[in-house]
Amino acid sequence: MYIDANLAIVTSQDLGDSQAPATVLGENSVDLGAAKDLSKGKPMYVIITVEESFVGNTSVPFQVITDSVATLASTPTVHSSTAAIAVASLTAGRAPIVIPIANPLGVDEQFLGIQFVIAGGTGTAGIVSACIGFDAP
């Protein structure tokens, strides 16, 4: 799978850096521009890979969000989400987590990204990367 650098929304983000239960925003966003339809009718996905196994928390749902600001820190809108995934199955090298993106998004918000809803105790490890792709692995 080829990954366009402009469609990378998280690059080796450390979610286990003493994260107590919290909602953590992805480090980057993709500017959807005015059209809000990047796919031109093709299915789109957020593809998340686990680079370092999670330790210390209990579960993490991954959520696709949009916001009016590039930092995603205003009032993000959740468009789709995984169920809570147990930390025991968030191991390095596992199959990618694939979240379909509805398209067009049909929103006024310009920036697309992800957030992580970290549950349970204080984490000590867990690194992920994520991008937008047109071909699900």
Q: Which residues pair with 77 in a beta bridge?
A: 66
Ordered by where they begin, the domains of the chain are 5-132 (2.60.120.1110)
pLDDT at 53: 94
pTM: 0.88
Of residues 118, 31, 124, 23, the one with CA closest to residue 78: 23
Q: Is the pLDDT of residue 7 over 90?
A: no
- In which residue are the tokens 């789709």 written? 80
Within a 10 A sphere around the Cβ of 6, how many other Cβ atoms?
11
Q: Is the pLDDT of residue 35 over 60?
A: no
Of residues 74, 65, 61, 2, the one with CA closest to residue 29: 65
Banded pLDDT at 136 (limits 50, 70, 90): confident
Of residues 105, 27, 111, the one with CA closest to residue 70: 111
Per residue in 56-106, pLDDT (tens digit) is: 888 999 999 999 899 999 889 999 999 999 999 999 999 999 999 876 666
Integer Cα distance of 26 and 81 in angstroms: 14
Of residues 5, 17, 7, the one with CA closest to residue 116: 17
C-alpha distance from residue 9 to each of 3, 31, 82 (Å): 11, 10, 17
